[in-house]
Amino acid sequence: MAATQGIGNYLMLYQSQVSDTHVSVSDIIANSLRIGPIAGIAGALVFSLIYGRLGARIGGNSTRNQVFHVLAYGGLPVAATLLLWGLALLLVGDAALGQAPAADVDGFVLLILRLQFAANLLLLFWSVVLQVMGFSEILALPVRKALGLWVLGQLVGVLVAFFLAILIAILFPGVVPSPP
């Protein structure tokens, strides 16, 4: 589940980034299949460590395996977005992975892209609800505290990713592109 979630997250990340370069759909899919599973599993492992420690700090007692399963199965709706990507690719072709619809885009294509975006947001929200409810269950916390735990864990995860990116940029200068 975590590997599939990583592929879905890669596709959502690609679509949300602004880029001047044109990348073919086959390259996007190949990169998502190559990078997504590794990133999904690594992300679930890192977040299971973060949430395990935070949960223990607030008095919950759960195993790391339980936290990992909450994250992996809570991400099932994000993994379901892969079906939406596939359907959108079949219906509208390359426009499904474009950054912004061109000015001369057909109304049908625009409708499909807007529906896909709305469905992705709904599934992302559902994923958050499943994870919060899972944390509430395994840590024996009220939902309000489980939501706070989830938000705090996301903030810690962003900080970890930020410092990891800085470390990679320092150790391997050519890997991270310079900003314009």
CB distance 59 to 105 below 8 Å: no
Render pLDDT for 54-65 as a digit per residue (tens, 0 to 9): 988 888 788 888
Exposed, middle or buried, 7 (CB in 10 Å: 0-12/13-18/19+)? buried
- Gap between the Cα atoms of 88 and 130, Å rounded: 25
Mean pLDDT of 163-178: 80
The reported pLDDT for the residue numbered 20 is 54
The reported pLDDT for the residue numbered 122 is 92
The reported pLDDT for the residue numbered 130 is 94
Render pLDDT for 82-115 as a digit per residue (tens, 0 to 9): 888 778 777 877 666 665 555 566 788 778 878 8
Residue with tokens 């979630």: 5
Q: Tell me the pLDDT of the chain averaged across its residues.
A: 83
Residue 8 has pLDDT above 70, yes or no: yes
The reported pLDDT for the residue numbered 153 is 94
Amino acid of residue 180 = P
> Closest Cα to residue 153, out of 55, 68, 72?
55
CB distance 73 to 134 below 8 Å: yes
Render pLDDT for 25-83 as a digit per residue (tens, 0 to 9): 777 788 888 888 998 888 889 999 999 999 888 887 888 889 999 998 888 888 888 88
110, containing H or E segment = helix 107-139
Q: How many helices (H) and strands (E) does the chain have?
A: 6, 0
The reported pLDDT for the residue numbered 117 is 82
Most confident of 82-96, 109-123, 146-160: 146-160
29 HSE (CA, 13 A, CB side)? 10
Mean pLDDT of 128-140: 93
Reported pTM: 0.79
- Gap between the Cα atoms of 70 and 137, Å rounded: 10
